[in-house]
Chains A and B, each alone.
Chain A
Amino acid sequence: MKEKYLINARIIDPKNKIDEIGGLIIDSNGLIKAVGKKVANGNLPSSAEKIDLKKQVLIPGIVDMRVFVGEPGYEYKENFRTLSNAALSGGVTSVVSMPNTSPVIDNVSMVDFLKRRGRDKSRINIFPAATLTKNADGKQMTEFGLLKRKGIVAFTDGIKTVQDPQVMSRIMNFASQSESLIMQHAEDNILSNGGLINEGEISTRLGLKGIPFLAEKIIVERDLSFLEEYFCRYHISQISSEKTISVIKKAKNEGKIFTTGVSINNLSLNENDIGEFRTFLKLSPPLRTENDRQSLVKAINDEIIDVIVSDHKPEDEESKRLTFSQAATGATGVETLLPLALELFHNKSVKLNKLIASITSNPAKILGINKGSIEKGSDADLCVFDLNKPWVVNKNKLKSKSKNTPIENRKLQGQVLKTFIKGELAYERI
């Protein structure tokens, strides 16, 4: 690859606190060689290949900490190739893949398979997560040390929660030895049993069994109590309720060290969007009240929540064309993560640098990967977007294999123009 020059861009790199017009040089190995104001037309050799970004925004490639792939076992919902295309069109260059496949990712041989498939079929960086427990059944912990050595960046039972407190306490106690990252989907299964949407007026009106906020809060409280005794790298995958935020705030004030994520869905939608049984909005954690949503948005601004994820969960039409209680849970979102997040900037809820940090530098830091920043020596994984371009979501134009977007026909502002992986132009909007 020849050296590449990107010039005249608005570079936003939260990690290095940069927000300025400038350019960058990508060396022949796809690494960033130089970045800043000085990388401009006048200072560069006239013969060099220059890409003028016309003051569009240039950010580090997005790191999405919660994505479901479908391989192995559910290739008809999403495979590595379709996921890669979807992610690139949304400026996402790195994803953490959830282990809830069939079979689940709970042993070393599965990791080899994933890495090979990921490498051969996709252009994005796949960082696989393995389960916390064998078969994700919450009983026997997996081989954290061995799996981590094979390249597993995080451990989570994905859509499931370790229910047994003894198992969870031992997991947290043991994981510190290998410095493994534990990610918990916080939901008490007994409290949420049979629940379909947020417990409240809407669940009463629709006659659907509710999921109380307590189901989430209780697990967060439990795990944070364990954290005091068994310190480990602990991350709460996504939270949904204002009450959980209070718990987190309190624990942070007490000096506990852990991180928290939130799904873009819980920041952009609320329970009213379910309307008359729209199964595409059947999500886990459930969409809650407008008050909860606003509190979550504020928590991003206050840096109580560190990460925004897409919680990209492709489901085929057959799994959604059912009654609400029978329909599958989850929605796609990897390709609309950035534009939907930008809505929070445009409506003046969250500062732009905080939004960008929550999808680039923060997740990279939590995962301990060399991504999410634009600095000399780092991989030139980049996303270029038009901050203001208006467009309308049309599920048929989205690239994911499954079409279960929760924001069909939504008017968005901000669109990804180019995505680079290791300096190579991997996606360009035509």
Chain B
Amino acid sequence: MAVIKKLKAVKLEQNHLLGIQDLSFSQVSDILKQAKTFITLNKSSSKKIDILRGKTQINLFFEPSTRTQSSFELAGKRLGADVMSMNIVNSAIKKGETLIDTAMTLNAMHPDIIVIRHQDSGAPNLLSQKVNCAVINAGDGRREHPTQALLDALTIINRRGKVEGLKIAICGDILHSRVARSNIYLMNMLGAEVNVVAPKTLLPHSIERLGVKSFTNMKKGLDNCDIVMMLRLQNERMQGSFLPSAREYYEYFGLTPDKLNLAKKNALIMHPGPMNRGVEIDTNLADDINRSVIREQVELGVAVRMACLKIFCKRR
């Protein structure tokens, strides 16, 4: 039976999750609070509930993705939604269809939520103007990756109790990183102090205007930090030469035990994945169960995405 949508009352908040920039503090708190309840659910033997039963979720991934796509798929299924993942490689997009036409086609199938990843910054915003359902950004170009930042915040809260007052270093390819941008906005909003550390060629123009301190010396940037977030070198987004070699990069910007020693003793290591071992992070550090929370990030990712799906699906 068709789902009859209720008429909306006054629209106060964003109906789409396009970026951290658009979220209010209370929305973020709400997402994180809901996500916490799903952590327990995901650990139990019966992981499925039915709050999104009858709802349709379409995953529209224009860029290859393993963890984000499977995380969203699992999140939707655990909430009882019907989840469809579009394989863009074989789709009409490759035959010249524009994003808007694809959106209109999908819209005609009455989805309740579309999760989109696209190589162009702003693609989710364009999509959201053309469809009747909620749009969740799963990463657009180098602009935002809001659910990644939210899961990072949840991971930090899970380990440290809160984000407020912490000192966080984001290190690596800031220029091409949507994860960095979303995290800068979110960690600032939650009251952390944020450093970015990168070679000058990988620091975006005017990055300080986003409310961070920038460093080109890893040791200075990590000084007294509670959290060290490493980023992947995004070779696929690099046009031309930004660095002499991976070897030189590792020497100056790779996370090694001696550099990590400058951070706080119990500093946590995070990484959005996939990792380039030996390029941005020492392989033993990545696997150090006392320091690295990289696998926990993946685990909590499902919970955060369940919370986002629930909240934004309901808001329609």
A residues lining the B interface (CB < 8 Å): 193-194, 199-201, 203-210, 276-277, 318, 321-326
Pick from A200, A206, A318, A326: contact of B143, CB below 8 A.
A206
Q: In the complex, A193 Cα to B98 Cα: how many Å?
A: 23
List the A residue with the shortest CB-CB distance to B130.
A321
The reply to whether A325 and B210 form a contact with Cβ atoms under 8 Å apart is no
The reply to whether A326 and B209 form a contact with Cβ atoms under 8 Å apart is no
The reply to whether B210 and A205 form a contact with Cβ atoms under 8 Å apart is yes
* Segment 171-227 of B: residues with Cβ below 8 Å from A: 178, 181, 204-207, 209-210
The reply to whether A322 and B121 form a contact with Cβ atoms under 8 Å apart is no
Pick from A194, A199, A204, A208: contact of B239, CB below 8 A.
A194
List the B residue with the shortest CB-CB distance to A190.
B240
**Closest 8 A-B residue pairs measured CB to CB?**
A207-B143, A207-B121, A277-B122, A323-B120, A201-B206, A207-B142, A204-B204, A201-B209
B111 at interface by CB-CB < 8 Å: no
Cβ of A200: which chain B residues have Cβ within 8 Å of it? 205-206
Q: In the complex, A423 Cα to B28 Cα: how many Å?
A: 67
B123 at interface by CB-CB < 8 Å: yes
Cβ of A325: which chain B residues have Cβ within 8 Å of it? 120-121, 141
The reply to whether A203 and B100 form a contact with Cβ atoms under 8 Å apart is no
* Segment 106-157 of B: residues with Cβ below 8 Å from A: 118, 120-123, 125-126, 140-144
Q: How large is the interface on B (under 10, 10 to 19, 20 to 34, 35 or more residues)?
A: 20 to 34
Q: Give the residue among A199, A204, A208, A322 with the most B Cβ atoms within 10 A.
A: A204
B285 at interface by CB-CB < 8 Å: no
**Closest approach, in angstroms, between the C-beta of A335 and any C-beta of chain B?**
27
B262 at interface by CB-CB < 8 Å: no
The reply to whether B98 and A322 form a contact with Cβ atoms under 8 Å apart is yes
Q: In the complex, A321 Cα to B125 Cα: how many Å?
A: 12
Report the tally of A-B residue pairs with Cβ distances under 8 A: 69
Q: In the complex, A326 Cα to B140 Cα: how many Å?
A: 14
Cβ of A203: which chain B residues have Cβ within 8 Å of it? 204-205
List the A residue with the shortest CB-CB distance to B208.
A201
Cβ of A318: which chain B residues have Cβ within 8 Å of it? 98
Cβ of B209: which chain A residues have Cβ within 8 Å of it? 201, 204
B74 at interface by CB-CB < 8 Å: no
List the B residue with the shortest CB-CB distance to A321.
B100
Cβ of B239: which chain A residues have Cβ within 8 Å of it? 193-194
List the A residue with the shortest CB-CB distance to B127.
A323
Selected A-B contacts with CB under 8 Å, 9 pairs:
A200-B205, A204-B181, A204-B207, A204-B210, A207-B122, A277-B125, A323-B120, A323-B121, A324-B122
The reply to whether B205 and A208 form a contact with Cβ atoms under 8 Å apart is no
The reply to whether A207 and B205 form a contact with Cβ atoms under 8 Å apart is no
**Closest approach, in angstroms, between the C-beta of B228 and any C-beta of chain A?**
22
Cβ of B166: which chain A residues have Cβ within 8 Å of it? none
B23 at interface by CB-CB < 8 Å: no
Contact with A along B39-78 (1 / 0, CB 8 A): 0000000000000000000000000000000000000000
B275 at interface by CB-CB < 8 Å: no
The reply to whether B99 and A323 form a contact with Cβ atoms under 8 Å apart is yes
Q: In the complex, A207 Cα to B137 Cα: how many Å?
A: 14
Cβ of A193: which chain B residues have Cβ within 8 Å of it? 239-240
Cβ of A194: which chain B residues have Cβ within 8 Å of it? 239
List the A residue with the shortest CB-CB distance to B203.
A204
Pick from B123, B144, B181, B240: contact of A323, CB below 8 A.
B123
Pick from A210, A277, A321: contact of B205, CB below 8 A.
A210
Pick from B99, B100, B126, B210: contact of A277, CB below 8 A.
B126
The reply to whether A199 and B205 form a contact with Cβ atoms under 8 Å apart is yes
List the B residue with the shortest CB-CB distance to A202.
B206
Pick from B100, B126, B140: contact of A207, CB below 8 A.
B140
Pick from B122, B206, B210: contact of A276, CB below 8 A.
B122
Instruction: Check A206/B121 contact, CB under 8 A, given A199-B205, A200-B206, A323-B126.
Output: yes
Q: A205-B143, A207-B181 are in contact. List 8 more A-B contacts (CB 8 A).
A: A193-B239, A201-B205, A201-B210, A203-B205, A205-B181, A323-B120, A323-B121, A323-B123
The reply to whether B141 and A207 form a contact with Cβ atoms under 8 Å apart is yes
Q: In the complex, A289 Cα to B144 Cα: how many Å?
A: 23
